[in-house]
């Protein structure tokens, strides 16, 4: 796969914008992840040339941190909180239900590219446990029975 020349140019621009910072690799990768949603190998190669860091080292960093992804994520990222406060209130059953409804495993994306399911560690909404977050929107004090309806509401939004 080749990346578009404008993407490469943009990645170079991102690298340049951090040029005055000491050791800015993490900042550059965070900015790319935020903007494009993933950091494929081809993009890492551009970063490697710009920053003069071996691509193997960059790949090592990208695969080390949970926030960086090699593959694109779905339009809606369903984050089920598996922090301790949610876990002791049965959030595992929420995750199981989401996976059942979307027919994927945690970390996977649905075939239509609409949903990615992730188990996350604490979204800071412990008082609302067990909780789930879809693209920043928090769903508080859930039971598995509420899951299909919530997922459906996003599907309907897409169809509309």
Partner 1 sequence: MEPINSIPCLEKAMCKCSEELNAKVKGLNGKRAIVVCGGTGCLANHSEDLEAELKRLVKEYGLEDKVTVNHVGCFGLCSQGPFIKIFPEETLYRAVQVKDAETIVKEDLVGHRIVEDLLYVDPITKMRIAKQEDIPFYKKQVRVALHGCSLINPSLVEEYLGCGGFKGLKRALTELTPQQVIDEVTNSGLRGRGGGGFLTGRKWQFAANVEADQKYIVCNGDEGDPGAFMDCSILEGTPFSVIEGMMIAGYAFGASEGYFYVRAEYPTAVKRLTEAIKDLEEAGILGDHVLGTDFSFRVHLRLGAGAFVCGEETALLNSIEGKRGMPRPRPPFPAVKGLWGKPTCVNNVETLATVPYILREGWEKFASMGTEKSKGTKVFALGGKINNVGLVEVPMGTTLRTLIYDIGGGIPGGKAFKAIQTGGPSGGCLTAADLDTPIDYDALVAKGSMMGSGGAIVMDEDNCMVNVAHFYMNFICDESCGKCTVCRIGTKRLYEMLTDVVEGRGTEQTLEDMKAIASVLKDGALCALGQTAANPILSTMANFPEEYLAHVKDKKCPAHACKKLVSFTIDPEKCKKCSLCARNCPVSAIHGVPGKEPYVIDQSKCIKCGACLSGCRFDAIHKE
List residues binding partner 1 (CB under 8 A). 21-27, 29-30, 33, 60-61, 64-68, 82-89, 93, 96, 100, 120-129, 131, 138, 140, 143-145
Tell me whether residue 94 or residue 115 sits nearer to partner 1 (CB atom). 94
Tell me whether residue 35 or residue 158 sits nearer to partner 1 (CB atom). 35
Residues 6+ apart with CB under 8 A from 14: 28, 31, 32, 35
Tell me whether residue 36 or residue 87 sits nearer to partner 1 (CB atom). 87
Tell me whether residue 74 or residue 144 sits nearer to partner 1 (CB atom). 144
Q: Which tokens in the block code for residue 51? A: 């920053």
CB of 80 to partner 1, least distance (A): 13
Following DSSP, what letter does each residue of the chain receive, concatenated?
----HHHHHHHHHHHHHTTTSSS-HHHHHHHHHHHHS---HHHHHHHHHHHT--HHHHHHHHHHSTT--SSPPPSEEEEEE-SHHHHTTTHHHHHHHHHHHHT--TT-B-TTS-EEEEEES--S-GGG-S-EEETTEEE-S--GGGHHHHHHHHHHHHH-
CB of 118 to partner 1, least distance (A): 10
CB of 64 to partner 1, least distance (A): 4
CB of 52 to partner 1, least distance (A): 12
CB of 72 to partner 1, least distance (A): 17
Tell me whether residue 74 or residue 83 sits nearer to partner 1 (CB atom). 83
């Amino acid at each position: 796969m080749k990346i578009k020349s404008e993407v490469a140019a943009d990645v170079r621009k991102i690298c340049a914008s951090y040029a005055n910072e000491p050791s800015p690799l993490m900042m550059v990768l965070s900015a790319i992840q935020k903007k494009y949603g993933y950091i494929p190998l081809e993009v890492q190669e551009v970063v490697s040339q710009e920053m003069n860091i071996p691509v193997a080292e960059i790949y090592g960093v990208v695969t080390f941190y949970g926030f960086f992804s090699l593959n694109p994520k779905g339009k809606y990222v369903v984050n089920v909180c598996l922090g301790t406060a949610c876990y002791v209130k049965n959030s595992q059953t929420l995750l199981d239900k989401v996976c059942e409804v979307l027919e994927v495993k945690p970390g996977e994306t649905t075939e239509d590219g609409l949903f990615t399911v992730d188990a996350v560690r604490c979204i800071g909404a412990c008082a609302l446990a067990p909780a789930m977050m879809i693209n920043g929107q928090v769903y508080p004090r859930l039971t598995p029975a509420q899951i299909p309806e919530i997922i459906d509401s996003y599907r309907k939004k897409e169809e509309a």
